[in-house]
C-alpha cells in the first residue's frame, strides 16, 4: 500500500476518534440556593377555664373575719361563676385564670373575687387595660379608665376607684395582682376595706428613694482660710 494512502487511513481514524469523544459537561455550581426564612407560628392563647374546682389554698388566703366582722367564704358548689366567666373581664390575663373563690360580708357590704392564674403571672400595673370592665362587673356605671388610680393602700400597690352615681356613698373598688393571684374587691366601709386589703397578699408599696443626708453630702462652700 502506498505510504500516502496509509497516512490518510491513520489520520482518518484519529479524526474519527476525536469526533466521537463526548463533550465534557460544565462543572456543577457550588453556590447554595438560600432556603426561605421560616415564619414563626404565633403562640396559641390559653383556653378559658369554665369549670370551678375547689382550691383550698386559694380559699385559705381569705381571712375568716376582718374589722371584727365574719367573712363568708362559700364552697364553690354554692356559686355558679367560673374562672372563665370572670376571666372575660380581664382580657388576655383572664384567659389564664384557673380557679376562683368568692367571699363577702353582708353588712357593711363587701364582695371579694379571688382568682388563681397559670403562668405567666400578671403584675398589678398590667391590669390597667381591664379596669373599666372590672368596674362594670361589680356594678360601677362608668366604662372609662379615668377615675382609677394606682396607689399604695394598706401597704399594697393597688388600683383604686371611688364611688359613682350607681353605687352607695363611700364605695371603693380595688383590683391588684401578686404571685399568680388576682383580686377584685368592692366595699362601702373604708375601715373594713383596709382591713381586708391588709389581710390579703399584695405587691408591696414602692419605697421612695431616701434623699442623702446633709452630713453625708460634700460641702460646696470653700473652706475658710486659716
What band does 176 get if pLDDT is binned at 50, 70 and 90?
Answer: very high
Mean pLDDT of 113-118: 96
Assessment of whether the complete model's pTM goes beyond 0.75 = no
Q: What pLDDT does residue 55 have? A: 96
Q: What pLDDT does residue 158 have? A: 96
Mean pLDDT of 131-160: 86
DSSP structural state of residue 166: T
Q: What pLDDT does residue 119 have? A: 86
Q: Can you read off the three cell numbers belonging to residue 140?
A: 360601677
- pLDDT tens sequence across 55-82: 999 999 999 999 999 999 999 999 999 9
Q: What pLDDT does residue 11 have? A: 44
What band does 170 get if pLDDT is binned at 50, 70 and 90?
Answer: confident
> Helix, strand or coil for residue 105?
strand
Q: What percent of the chain is predicted at pLDDT more than 90?
A: 56
Residue bearing the bigger pLDDT, 83 or 170: 83
pLDDT at 41 over 80: no
Cβ–Cβ contacts within 10 Å for residue 204, how many? 10
pLDDT at 7 over 50: no
- pLDDT tens sequence across 129-142: 999 999 989 887 65
Residue bearing the bigger pLDDT, 170 or 65: 65
Distance (Å, whole) CA 162 – CA 12 = 111
Mean pLDDT of 168-176: 90
Q: What pLDDT does residue 14 have? A: 45
pLDDT at 32 over 70: no
Q: What pLDDT does residue 168 have? A: 77
Q: What pLDDT does residue 145 have? A: 64
Residues in the chain: 226
pLDDT at 33 over 80: no
Secondary structure (DSSP) of 178-221 = ETTEEEEEEES-HHHHHHHHHHS--PBPPPPPPPPPTTTSPP-S
Beta strand residue intervals within the chain, DSSP E: 65-66, 69-70, 97-105, 110-117, 149-153, 156-162, 172-178, 181-187
Q: Is 180 exposed, middle or buried (0-12, 13-18, 19+ CB in 10 A)?
A: middle
Residue bearing the bigger pLDDT, 223 or 46: 46
What mean pLDDT, rounded, does the chain reach? 82
Amino acid at each position: 500500500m502506498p505510504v500516502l494512502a496509509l497516512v490518510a487511513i491513520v489520520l482518518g481514524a484519529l479524526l474519527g476518534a476525536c469526533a466521537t469523544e463526548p463533550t465534557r459537561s460544565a462543572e456543577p455550581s457550588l453556590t447554595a440556593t438560600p432556603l426561605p426564612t421560616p415564619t414563626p407560628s404565633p403562640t396559641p392563647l390559653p383556653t378559658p377555664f369554665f369549670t370551678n374546682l375547689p382550691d383550698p389554698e386559694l380559699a385559705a388566703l381569705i381571712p375568716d373575719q376582718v374589722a371584727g366582722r365574719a367573712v363568708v367564704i362559700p364552697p364553690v358548689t354554692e356559686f355558679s361563676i367560673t374562672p372563665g366567666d370572670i376571666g372575660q373581664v380581664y382580657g388576655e390575663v383572664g384567659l389564664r385564670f384557673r380557679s376562683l373563690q368568692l367571699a363577702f360580708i353582708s353588712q357593711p357590704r363587701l364582695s371579694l373575687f379571688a382568682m388563681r392564674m397559670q403562668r405567666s403571672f400578671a403584675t398589678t400595673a398590667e391590669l390597667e387595660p381591664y379596669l373599666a370592665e372590672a368596674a362594670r362587673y361589680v356594678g360601677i356605671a362608668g366604662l372609662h379608665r379615668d377615675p382609677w388610680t394606682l396607689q399604695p393602700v394598706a401597704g399594697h400597690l393597688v388600683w383604686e376607684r371611688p364611688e359613682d352615681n350607681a353605687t352607695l356613698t363611700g364605695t371603693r373598688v380595688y383590683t391588684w395582682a401578686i404571685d399568680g393571684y388576682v383580686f377584685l374587691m368592692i366595699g362601702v366601709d373604708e375601715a373594713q376595706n383596709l382591713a381586708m386589703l391588709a389581710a390579703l397578699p399584695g405587691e408591696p408599696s414602692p419605697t421612695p428613694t431616701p434623699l442623702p443626708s446633709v452630713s453625708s453630702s460634700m460641702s460646696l462652700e470653700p473652706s475658710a482660710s486659716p
